[in-house]
Amino acid sequence: MPFKSLAFTLAGDRVERLTDALLAAGALSVDAADAHGGTASEQAVFAEPGAATRPWACSRLTALFAANADAGQALARACRDCAIDLPADLVQAEIDDRDWVRLTQAQFPPICIDSRLWVVPTWARAVDPGAINLVLDPGAAFGTGSHPSTRLCLQWLVRNIRGGERVLDYGCGSGILAIAALKLGAARARGVDIDPQALVAARANAMQNEVCAEFVAPGDELAFDADVVAANILAKPLIALAPLLAAATRAGGHAVLSGILHEQWREVADAYSPWYEMAAPVSDEGWVALAGRRRQGD
């Protein structure tokens, strides 16, 4: 059975009310995302030291309805109930009914990070059984290896993990960086995330890969004394976290930072330069990873 979808932008402080009203009016689901996601205007929403959680200034809502539903009328009723004007940029579309599971799986084939490391979904066969194959499915938490920012971090780990390191994965999402570090030879890895769903997903992924990684909420990272700190987040939270991540890195240890757009890397590098000797940026599809070595005694 086909579906109908309605997509439009909305001020962030109205999203929750209208989402509830759309569901009450018959929507099967409502998805909200940053209307400026993937651009220089992207707004990081996070709850880290020195920052407050807040809604996106402008969200892109997509509401899904059954084929026989009057989606336009449902939207009008929801807007009326919330005292909101009908959106001027409304886009309506029909979505064909398909084997969504198979189609979704087809979008996530094995990913070659490096000749030594692949990310392989559970439904796929390993292309190179002799390589390190990280078994991980897309899910509720960010980090499958398909995004350039994740690939850049994984490639850095492949080049730099020598064996025996203690690795802190801050903003761990799916846990992919902590798990990869352990499979590459790190002795211990701890992942930190503010999202409880991410921690659940990361623990399940660690079990799937038969590694013993810790995944915890923020609070104990300063007691970890990491040889390597990896943080694949976004530029603004990375800047806010610079003192905390520096304090969690032992003297002579390393940090690898990603989730940074090309035009943002200098600002991030400047935020970390008081503690780290920063290397030249490495880029992939407009995204940048920065790496630095922690100075002695700073």
pLDDT at res. 137: 85
3-state secondary structure 239-289: HHHHHHHHHCEEEEEEEEEEEEEHHHHHHHHHHHCCCEEECCCEEECCEEE
Tokens at 257, concatenated: 């930072």
Question: Are 124 and 241 part of one and the same domain?
Answer: yes
Residue 215 lies in a domain: yes
**Residue 22 resides in a domain:** yes
Residues 11 and 56 in one domain: yes
Q: Are residues 239 and 137 in the same domain?
A: yes
* Per-residue pLDDT band at 290 (split at 50, 70, 90): very high
Instruction: Taking residues 81-94, report their average pLDDT.
Output: 92
Q: What is the pLDDT of residue 50?
A: 44
- Alpha-carbon distance of 197 to 45, in angstroms, equals 16
Per-residue pLDDT at 47 exceeds 50: no
What CATH number did the domain enclosing 195 receive? 3.40.50.150
Question: What pLDDT is recorded for position 123?
Answer: 87
Same domain, 185 and 74: no
The predicted pLDDT at position 171 comes to 95
Predicted pLDDT of residue 48: 45
DSSP-derived letter for residue 54 is -
Backbone angles phi, psi at 219, to 5 degrees: 150, -35
Residues 172 and 28 in one domain: no
Enclosing domain of residue 136: 110-294
State the CATH number of the domain containing residue 16: 3.30.70.120
| Co-location of 196 and 240 in the same domain | yes
Same structural domain for residues 173 and 48?
no
pLDDT tens per residue across span 117-155: 999 998 889 999 999 999 998 776 778 888 999 999 999
Residue 103 lies in a domain: no
In a domain, residue 105? The reply is no
Domain assignment of residue 102, yes or no: no
Confidence of residue 98 (pLDDT cuts 50, 70, 90): low
**Same domain, residue pair 119 and 162:** yes
pLDDT value, residue 269: 98
Residue 104 lies in a domain: no
Question: Which pLDDT tens digit goes with each residue over 217-274?
Answer: 998 666 788 999 999 999 999 999 999 999 999 999 999 999 999 999 999 999 999 9
Please state the domain count of the chain.
Answer: 2
Binning pLDDT at 50, 70 and 90, where does residue 2 land? confident
Spatial CA neighbour of 150 closest among 217, 211, 228, 233: 233
Give the model's pLDDT for residue 112: 95
Q: Are residues 48 and 71 in the same domain?
A: yes
| Residue 185: both structure tokens together | 């030879």
Residues 135 and 81 in one domain: no
Q: Does residue 78 sit in the same domain as residue 115?
A: no
Residues 276 and 218 in one domain: yes
